[in-house]
Amino acid sequence: MQMYRNYRWLFGFVLSIALCAFGVLLPEMANADASKPLLFLVAGQSNARGTADKPSSVIVPSGAFWNGDAWEHGIKDPVFPAKHGSFCPAMAKVISDKTKRKIYIINVSISGSSSNEAYIENDKISWAKTGMLRKRAISMYKKAVSELDDAFEFGGVVWLQGETEARLLARGRISLKDAQNGFESIYSWLSRSFGKVFIIGIGYRNGDTRYDAAHTQINMLSKHLARKTDNCFFASDMPMKLRKLKLMQNPIKNKSSNPHYLIKGYDLVGEDVGKFIANMIMKNN
């Protein structure tokens, strides 16, 4: 019996070494503990940042978000860097309610950002390899985590970006292949750097249907790449439904359309992606 226990211990030790050597033991697996808070990194462009017409009424007392300088307790709008409202409170509430765990959120999103290499309008708001947002995300994440007193489990990256690629595709500035190369690069980088990546699809623009085909193509591309990229999951296509539900903001002054949602739309997006994430966490646990 003693020999069996020794062999079992030796087998477990060798297996753990092998898993580490082959990169199977990801950070969130190593830190998995159903009693620990869950930390999420939100990234992308304006709809990930949150550009709602007003704050969400949803409040999550057992949570906190990084405001760029310090942790603010209680997840309620405006969640940095949003000025008014975002999908973060609704997402956090669903995950917290279902898992019974505290939620931390670090949002590193930048309005107008892109991810393709072929047509970079501004490298300061580019997620491409040659852009500046990857280094910025790492820096913000490390700073925020260093200020946490609690041990945590990394829940995943929540990614919402692609409206810029749809606009550039519709105007002939980039090809679908250019968009694909950019998405493949950023999805892989996020997965390698952090862990699980939960992708939210983009919606249509309100006030102009000329971009609809491009937005549909970008969404289909995101779904396809999520299936073939390790540790990536297409978590919600709710944004595609919001124009039909009349939950889009009115066209921006001096522009023909608007890609942003009303706060009710952001809440629906947060609830939808939150359910997907919570169900996966509960299944894995």
pLDDT of residue 33: 72
C-alpha dihedral (149, 150, 153, 156), degrees to nearest 10 = -50
Higher pLDDT: 195 or 13? It is 195
Higher pLDDT: 23 or 242? It is 242
Q: Which of 31, 87, 104 is nearest to 284 (CA)?
A: 31
pLDDT of residue 16: 39
- Per cent of the chain over pLDDT 90 is 83
Q: How far is CA 39 from CA 112, 154, 207, 250, 270, in A?
A: 25, 5, 37, 34, 15
Q: Is the pLDDT of residue 8 over 80?
A: no
pLDDT of residue 285: 76
pLDDT in tens, 10-42: 434 333 333 333 333 344 443 567 789 999 999
Read off the pLDDT of each residue in 195-200 and give the average, rounded to a whole number: 98
pLDDT of residue 29: 41
Average pLDDT score over the chain:
90
pLDDT of residue 32: 62
pLDDT in tens, 49-66: 999 999 999 999 989 999
Read off the pLDDT of each residue in 244-269 and give the average, rounded to a whole number: 93
Strand-strand pairing, 153-160 and 38-44: parallel
pLDDT of residue 25: 33
pLDDT of residue 256: 78
Instruction: Assign residue 272 a region (left: φ > 0; alpha: ψ between -120 and 50; beta: otherwise).
Output: alpha
